[in-house]
Every structure is written in C-alpha cells, then in structure tokens.
Amino acid sequence: MIENKDRRDRISKVFEELKKEDRKAFIPFITCGFPDLDGTLRLFKVLDRCGADIIEIGIPFSDPLADGPVIQKTSKIALEAGTNTDTVFDTVRTIRKTSSTPLVLLVYFNTIYAYGVKRFLSSAEESGVDGMIIPDLPLEEFNKYRTLFEKSIIDNIMIASLTSGRERLADIAAAGRGFIYCVSLKGVTGIRAKLSDEVSDFLKVLRSVTDL
C-alpha cells in the first residue's frame, strides 16, 4: 500500500514540480465503472504509465447536469452495472496499492449529501483520494459545509466560470485548495472546435486574484 503521509501536499507538490519544468499539467478523466470495474483499473494504469500528472475519476450519477453526452453515457453504463459510492472507494483503495499519482474525484453533491458529508469525506480520505471537484456546489452552498471540508486533508477544488466577476472569483479562489477548475465554455462538457475569445480575459482576471 502506498504511504499516505504528506497527503495534504500531494497535489500542490505536483504543480511545484511542473512549474520548475515549465510545463502544464496533464489531468485526464475516467468514469469509475466504465466500461466495467476491471476496465477502469486498466485505464487508470495506462494513464498513470503514460505520464498523467493527476487523474480525475468520476463517480457515476443519474443526472450529471454539467456533463455532455459522452460522460453521460459512461455514467449510465457504470450505474447499470451496479457501480456506487462504496464501489468507487474500493477502486481507489485498489489503485493506491500501486500508485501515488494524485487522484481527484468528480462527484455531484447529491451523492455526497445522500452518503453523509462527514462520512463521505472520511471514507474518501481513508481510501486515498487527494481532491474533489463538485460541479453543482456553488460557493454559497459550499460555505455551509466549509468547516468539514477544511478539516479534511482532501483538497476542495473550486470551480470558476466565465460568468463570474472579479470579486466572486477572488472569493472562489480563497475557498479552494489544490488547484482551480476553470470552466472555459458555457454549457455542458464535451467536444468543441475552439475556445471562446472570453477565456483569455477570464484567466487574466482570475490570475490577478490568486496564485493557486
């Protein structure tokens, strides 16, 4: 089993090394349970072996409102195969036997709430999760649970969107740890031919209020 000491700094240490090497982070995403649990483990091993700096694992959800058709399809297949929250934690434990690559869960808040926020954070921490992205938990709602998140060694990775103003971006950045998930498009995730012209200005404003 990979040692969990210094877990709180595992994501930030990756970005420190990337900065020294003047390169960007490669952070791929896979859905746990797709195409099946063995397939998830095989995909993770390939991504890990091929140089992923951080790997996101999605907990499948019945109504993934922020996701496009590709991820929706993978979630549907995973759920139909019986993948649930405990299955995901078990998969992370298996991964942690051989890999220390930072691992981030992408999870909808309904899943966390139904499981119990404190219990979810404890189970995620014990299994070896390093960070979490919660696409449907805005800052105002996050603040209700902020104490629980801040007590955890898991990085709460906040989401910043194109529609947010400078003051709100500063508040979002102040609440986050690990890195900030910048939404570079309006609408759901998925394939795009190009990025919006707004993205560059958005990133400049965000960078002016944080060095995360």
Q: Say whether 38 is catalytic.
A: no
Which ranges constitute the DSSP H helices of the chain?
10-21, 37-49, 69-80, 85-95, 109-115, 117-127, 139-142, 146-151, 166-175, 198-209
Residue from 9, 56, 80, 86 carrying the catalytic annotation: 56
Q: How far is CA 190 from the centre of its chain?
A: 16
Q: 93 phi and psi, to 5 degrees?
A: -60, -40
Q: Say whether 6 is catalytic.
A: no
Task: At 79, list the tokens.
Answer: 């759920």
Q: First vs last Cα of the chain: how many Å apart? A: 30
Residue from 6, 16, 38, 67 carrying the catalytic annotation: 67
Active site residues: 56, 67
